[in-house]
Amino acid sequence: MKAILEATALGRRFPVGEGVWALKRVDLAVPRGAFVVITGPSGCGKTTLLNLLGGLDRPTRGDVVLKGLAYSRLDESGLARLRRTEIGFVFQFFNLLSDLTAEENVALPMRLAGLPPAEITSRTAALLEATGMSHRARHTPHELSGGEQQRVAVARALANDPAIVLADEPTGNLDSKNSEDIMELFRRFNREKGQTFVVVSHDPGFAEHADMVVRMRDGEVQALEEREGTGAC
């Protein structure tokens, strides 16, 4: 299957002391509609890689290409536009705006993208329904449990129908029941909607259901396992 996202000779060096290569040289192709899990010990470069794939950071060397568009060709405003329209993000600590309700948090990316109000309203309602949060639409984050906040964060990540969703330890702050619920939510969107996911996680539950598992160590891809019969591929 054709790759929707490709990283080529990707490296990131941080200016600590004489310089530290958090990511050394990574080549990775993410097939369209795949469920990809990046795993490995703490400090191995997982989050650095995800940040580069999402355009949240610039590589020291190499490049990332999403849907045929190279990040190196984009200035900061172009990269911000790409993140807003083509990439959904889910973080460990939810990152919801505390003074907005659940429905307002989900609607915000669409408002920033300039979608018509009627479309924002209908899409927000559909996403809250799909994530099981319709009954909590008018509650603010401090009125929601951790699992509920992460469901809202997932709905928000999908608001602009992104080409790819990137998730950094999305169950790292949840108990086992809520972790399983979020995993199942990701799997459902992947299977039923053909949504592409790249998930950084220590949770073995994600890897069990992945189409591709990327195992990292010391800033490099140690092993890449492609599987058949799981996910959307």
Contact 66, 116 (CB under 8 A): no
Token pair recorded at residue 94 = 């939810």
Beta bridge partners of 21: 13
**Residue 156 in domain:** yes
Q: Does the residue 233 lie in any domain?
A: no
- Asked, for residue 75, whether it belongs to a domain, the answer is yes
Across the chain, the runs of DSSP E, i.e. the strands, are: 3-14, 20-31, 35-39, 61-66, 69-70, 87-90, 164-168, 196-200, 212-217, 220-226
How far apart are the C-alpha atoms of 156 and 129, rounded to whole Å? 12
230 pLDDT band, cuts 50/70/90, is very low
Whole-number Å distance between alpha carbons of 201 and 41 = 10
pLDDT band at 228 (very low <50, low <70, confident <90, very high): low
Helix 146-157 and helix 117-130, axial crossing angle in degrees, nearest 10:
140
Q: Quick one: pLDDT at residue 222?
A: 93
- Side-chain-side CA neighbours of 34 within 13 Å: the count stands at 26
Please give the pLDDT value at position 137.
Answer: 97
- Residue 94 in any domain: the answer is yes
For 69-85, the pLDDT digits (tens) are: 999 999 999 999 999 99
Lookup: tokens for 193 = 């909607």
Q: For the segment 178-188, what is each residue's pLDDT rounded down to a tens digit? A: 999 999 999 99
Q: At 170, which amino acid appears?
A: P
Residue 175 lies in a domain: yes
Of the chain, the end-to-end C-alpha distance in Å amounts to 8
Answer whether residue 25 is part of any domain: yes
How many structural domains does the chain have? 1
Question: Which domain does 163 fall in, by range?
Answer: 3-226
pLDDT tens for each residue of 154-164:
999 999 999 99
Please report, rounded to a whole number, the percentage of residues in the chain having pLDDT higher than 90. 82
Predicted TM-score (pTM) of the model is 0.91
User: What would the pLDDT profile of 17-75 be if each residue is shown by its tens digit?
Assistant: 778 899 999 999 999 999 999 999 988 999 999 999 999 999 999 999 999 999 999 99
Residue type, 209: H
Give the burial string for 48-85 (b: 16+ CB within 10 Å, else e): bbbbbbbbbbebbebebbbeeeebeeeeeeebeebbee
Residue-level length of the chain: 233
Residue 231 lies in a domain: no
Q: What is the pLDDT of residues 115-153, one digit of tens each?
A: 999 999 999 999 999 999 999 999 999 999 999 999 999
In a domain, 199, yes or no: yes
CATH for 31: 3.40.50.300
> How, if at all, do strands 212-217 and 61-66 pair?
unpaired
d(CA 60, CA 3): 23
